[in-house]
Amino acid sequence: MTHTDPQQEIDQLRDEIRKHDRRYYVDAAPTITDQEYDELLDRLKQLEAEHPELLTTDSPTQRVGGEPLEGFRTVPHARPMLSIDNTYDVENLSKWAQRCFEALDPRLTEIEAELAAIDQREAPIKGKRDKESQSLRKQGKEQRETLRVKADEILVAAAKCGYTIEGDYLAEPKIDGVAINLRYENGLLMLASTRGDGTHGDDVTQNIRTIHAIPLRLAATAALPAPEVLEVRGEIFLPNAEFQRINQAFLDAGKEPFANPRNATAGTLKQLDSMAVAERRLQFLAHGQGEVVGMEFDTHTRFLEALAAWGVPASPLAKLCRSIHEVWKLIEQFDAQRDQLAYDVDGVVVKLDRFDQREQLGTTSRFPRWCIAYKYPAEQAVTKLLQVDWQVGKTGKLTPRATMEPVFVAGTTVQHATLHNYGEILRKDIRIGDTVIIEKAGEIIPQVVRVDLDQRPANLPPLEPPEKCPDCAGEVEAEQDDTGKETARYCMNPECPAQLRERLIHFAARGQMDIDGMGEKIVLQLADAGLLNSFGDIFELHKKREQLLALDRMGEKKADNLLAGIEAAKARGLDRVLCGLGIRHIGSTVARILAKHYGTIKTLQEATREDIQSFQTDGQESGIGPEIATSIHHFLHSPAGKHVIEELRAANVTLAVSQPIEQNTPQIFAGKTFVVTGKLEKCTRDEIHALVEQHGGKTSSSVSKNTDYLVAGQKAGSKLVKAEQLGVRVLSESQWEELLDRHEVGQEKRP
Ligand code: IVH
């Protein structure tokens, strides 16, 4: 091929390279060697260098570039990025299909309508005892009965055939990676953002551009032009081999490796320098759509077909199924294959294929009702317990950590597990030298499930709990529950250096002061160098720039970023400071309640313990009981506590509430108080607390006559008993979800 016009050659090369990207990443069928591909790219680079005026941002040469970022911009999502309801059993999967069927089957919706019509017909005669009314009611009763029988018959038959609906179910592997939203405008990749809190995410476009599987420009054609706006959602992940390569390089460089491919992916996406991202070969597979303008798809399958044509990869393993029975077969098949896949699959996502049906089902506040994830059970492995160390936490809590013979489980090599507390060690009768069965579910820290007593060597001594702090040799105190089981052990030395390190890590972390550039490793490095001995020292670091720069791997830029991060954190507000101080019993919820009520640290310092435990917010108990009140009061009046506050004040850290955030969530729980207790399956207690508060309600840690609802998980103990005595409404986890949904149905479903 000879070219006289460089523009023409450049265009041809770009098309050629994009075509090979597509063959490689979408079709998994490359037609040239890596070397040939590199030659094309080199020629293009050369031409672009000779003719810089012809360079465009969507050129395949422009994946890496630009200055490292200072931080990520937060961007709103055009459509919320929800998560998916999970289940671990086939029973629930079937129930999900039944719910879909009930909402979609025309015969059942007809019956629903008829039942509603009967209700309506009877409304005017409610309570009337005349003959005519009575006979009308009798007629209604019979009709209802007939309709119910009919509905039951339909459901029984449907259960038998696996709830076939008019469209199909679509099942595809659930990839354990990081969700991303890719926004194409007129075919060009304009924005890539992480899920974040579901409504806002981080702009990681620069990093995403380095991923070759993601086209910078859609391969639009006359037959299938690119829509005005196309948001593709999918998963960014690291294939296991690449993950292992990266971790090996980390180990070789003496760095702490990532715990699993998912963490490595998340860590990579958070790199500020896209050059570093380009070195790790991240992958992408699409699994859904966000905002789409200028084109309509009627099914997910059609959407995937269009993506394939545009050069956007999706899972080749997605399959349509007629019934939930077929889905289940597929789940079993995937399970048998999944360890042969190049990447981690932790379950199967099942969705309705037809978009109109999805709309009909709508979403709850957190999940779409048209989609469910079946998760494979946690993998177990057998290994030997070698050692138990007691780690000191920020409140002085001593937590036993097991070191075991390394064992491969669920895609990674595991060597450590938490043993929770001494009571648990006794309950499971765990001894050093035991053969133990461990379990790992996703990113959750491995657990020791049980000991294989048959394998126990004779005369293995029981484990002894520490009588002194393993770090500072300070006094240790144990805590027990009502049954006498030990639930925690604390180092009582307020000056314990290990506690201080943990407190500093907590103070600087996300959710508390959120100091950019001050992660765990930096805190430890600073503490080891003697630069941090108190919270106040953090805000003195700018006076010690020289010493900062003398630290290992601390350049000018990194030091400046750190100092800027510290400066910015000063304005987080009183609640974040209170939560960051790591005072026992003061988590984010309590900190928010205190900050909101007292407004400034000064008012809080002046409050008596009685006032703290008895103040009311909007005419209701705050939920702060004597234990919390004693803890915060004690801290604020202790010499150490006073000193910390003084230091923070001197450093100009904001010790008053920051501006309230504007609320646009419907305040459906206004005036209602919730208590959450027991072991929850689907979400954490903090998540429920946050949802209650977002919706205008209050949360409390103890049940009283002012409690409106108790959300009770498994093994809810004394709070459940008390709630029942007081006649407080008790909700199971799913009833709580229903309550949340019911209030929101109207506005959550798209019109
Ligand atoms: S569909 C409304 N399909 O799993 C969300 N998600 O645990 C619809 N995920 O946030 C998402 N593989 O990032 C879908 N094949 C798949 C998936 C998948 C992984 C992720 C996704 C989601 C998370 C929920």
Whose Cα sits closest to atom 9 in ligand 1?
174
Distance in Å, CA 374 to ligand 1 centroid:
11
Whose Cα sits closest to atom 21 in ligand 1?
179
Average pLDDT over residues 501-526: 90
Residue (of 39, 52, 64, 60) closest to 7 by Cα position: 52
- DSSP letter at 130 equals S
Q: What is the pLDDT of residue 751?
A: 25
Q: What is the pLDDT of residues 15-40, one digit of tens each?
A: 999 999 999 988 888 999 989 999 99
Active-site positions read 174
Burial of 185 (C-beta count, 10 Å sphere; 0-12/13-18/19+): middle
Q: What is the pLDDT of residue 743?
A: 59
Measured between alpha carbons, how far is 335 from 329 in angstroms, rounded to an integer?
Answer: 10
Measured between alpha carbons, how far is 306 from 308 in angstroms, rounded to an integer?
Answer: 5
Q: Quick check: CB of 172 below 6 Å from ligand 1?
A: yes
Q: Quick check: CB of 287 below 6 Å from ligand 1?
A: yes
Q: What is the pLDDT of residue 671?
A: 84
Whose Cα sits closest to atom 15 in ligand 1?
174
Average pLDDT over residues 153-173: 96
List, in order, residues 6 or more apart from 437 with CB less than 8 Å away.
380, 381, 382, 448, 449, 450, 451, 452
Q: What is the pLDDT of residues 368-401, one digit of tens each?
A: 999 999 999 888 899 999 999 999 998 899 999 9
Distance in Å, CA 352 to ligand 1 centroid:
14
Average pLDDT over residues 461-475: 95
- Expressed in angstroms, the distance from the first to the final Cα of the chain is 56
Measured between alpha carbons, how far is 496 from 732 in angstroms, rounded to an integer?
Answer: 42
Contact 264, 247 (CB under 8 A): yes
Contact 638, 529 (CB under 8 A): no
Say what percent of the chain tops pLDDT 90.
65
Q: What is the pLDDT of residue 67?
A: 76
Q: Residue 742: pLDDT above 70?
A: no
| Residue positions counted in the chain | 751
Distance in Å, CA 444 to ligand 1 centroid:
18
- Residue with the bigger pLDDT between 424 and 698: it is 424
Residue (of 12, 10, 17) closest to 212 by Cα position: 17
Average pLDDT over residues 265-285: 92
Residue 35: both structure tokens together? 């070397």
Distance in Å, CA 85 to ligand 1 centroid:
10
Distance in Å, CA 84 to ligand 1 centroid:
7
The reported pTM is: 0.62
Q: What is the pLDDT of residue 237?
A: 97
Whose Cα sits closest to atom 13 in ligand 1?
179
Q: Quick check: CB of 364 below 6 Å from ligand 1?
A: no
Residue (of 618, 582, 579, 626) closest to 597 by Cα position: 618
Q: Residue 659: pLDDT above 60?
A: no
Average pLDDT over residues 132-157: 94
Q: How confident is the model at residue 748 (pLDDT cuts 50, 70, 90)?
A: very low
Pocket test for ligand 1, best of 77, 82, 84, 334 (most atoms within 8 A of CB): 84
Say what percent of the chain tops pLDDT 70.
95
Residue (of 445, 486, 446, 440) closest to 464 by Cα position: 486
Residue (of 697, 705, 750) closest to 725 by Cα position: 705
Residue (of 464, 459, 456, 402) closest to 433 by Cα position: 456
Whose Cα sits closest to atom 17 in ligand 1?
174
Q: Residue 188: in which H helix or E strand, if any? A: strand 188-194
DSSP 43-84: HHHHHHHH-GGG--TTSGGGSS-SPPPSSPPEEE-SS-----
Contact 495, 475 (CB under 8 A): no
List, in order, residues 6 or more apart from 2 with CB less than 8 Å away.
none
Which residues are registered as beta bridge partners of 372? 350
Q: How confident is the model at residue 664 (pLDDT cuts 50, 70, 90)?
A: low
Q: What is the pLDDT of residue 689?
A: 81
Q: What is the pLDDT of residue 660?
A: 47
Residue (of 531, 575, 552, 551) closest to 693 by Cα position: 575
Q: What is the pLDDT of residues 301-354, one digit of tens each?
A: 999 999 999 999 999 999 999 999 999 999 999 998 888 899 989 899 999 999
Measured between alpha carbons, how far is 421 from 423 in angstroms, rounded to an integer?
Answer: 5
Pocket test for ligand 1, best of 82, 174, 376 (most atoms within 8 A of CB): 174
- Residue with the bigger pLDDT between 500 and 620: it is 500
Q: Quick check: CB of 373 below 6 Å from ligand 1?
A: yes
Q: Residue 622: pLDDT above 70?
A: yes
Radius of gyration, CA atoms only, the chain? 30
Average pLDDT, the chain: 89
Of 152-156, 575-579, 717-721, the one with minimum mean pLDDT is: 717-721
Q: Residue 1: pLDDT above 80?
A: no
Q: What is the pLDDT of residues 61-106, one digit of tens each?
A: 988 877 778 778 889 999 999 999 999 899 999 999 999 999 999 9
